[in-house]
Amino acid sequence: MKAFYLLHKKAKSSPSSTFFETYLRMILYHSLIVQPGETLALVGPSGCGKSTVVSLLERLYDPLDGVVAVDGNDLREMNPTHLRSHIALVSQEPVLFDTSIRNNIVYGLPANSVTDDMIMEVAQRANIHKFISELPDGFNTRVGEKGTQLSGGQKQRIAIARALIRNPKILLLDEATSALDTESEKLVQEALDKASKGRTCIVVAHRLSTVVNCNCIMVVKSGKIVEKAHFRECIVISDSIIEA
């Protein structure tokens, strides 16, 4: 990857607007602009470089060549804490701790910065509130080490609630449904569709069937973008391209 730019500029018409203009450009044969609230999907076989984009955006490591920039500023010159405060990640295997569901949702946030109403709201948006409310201890239920008391779909929806409580400007979804059974995948996918509304999302996926609601799809193979399409323009990509 030679360059990856993710630029945010507040809308001129409304200084207090929560919407941001987002420009995303990947110099891998293609350039791309992602409009406010749109979702970009990176699809391809394992090991092709999809998750590398997510790691670069979070600045888990720096590119050996080229620049990763936000607002035209090299991420290497930005405060990592400030950068990550505007980003939330839902990964394939969510990390839960042996504490209550409530503590897992608000984990990492300043004490007393989140109200119970806020927690219930994000739980509802993550399709997990009904399950939690039926538990004897509700949000105070302990999930066990690594969430062993919960199913994969339940853990994933708690991870989505944790992402939403932060109200991120950028939401990163890295193979968030790939390890789930069909029923759990449906519930989680519905929650992800709700979570993506009103914010810029980067979705990493292995199958096209999980990104049908994305505004733009890029197929990645061997670190290169080999296909670009918009579902809204009725451009169809064969799964054989991805799996080959």
- pLDDT tens, residue by residue, 161-184: 999 999 998 889 888 887 777 778
How high is the pLDDT of residue 142? 96
How high is the pLDDT of residue 14? 37
**What is the residue extent of each domain of the chain?**
87-167
Q: What's the rounded Cα separation, in Å, for the pair 151 and 19?
A: 35
- pLDDT tens, residue by residue, 49-108: 788 888 888 888 887 777 777 666 788 898 988 888 888 999 888 899 999 999 999 999
pTM score, whole prediction: 0.80
Nearest-CA neighbor of 178 among 26, 50, 37? 50
Q: Residue 230 — pLDDT band, cuts 50, 70, 90?
A: low
Taking the alpha carbons at both ends of the chain, their separation in whole angstroms is 21
For domain 87-167, which CATH number applies: 3.40.190.10, 3.40.50.740, 3.20.20.120, 3.40.50.300?
A: 3.40.50.300
Q: What's the rounded Cα separation, in Å, for the pair 231 and 238?
A: 13
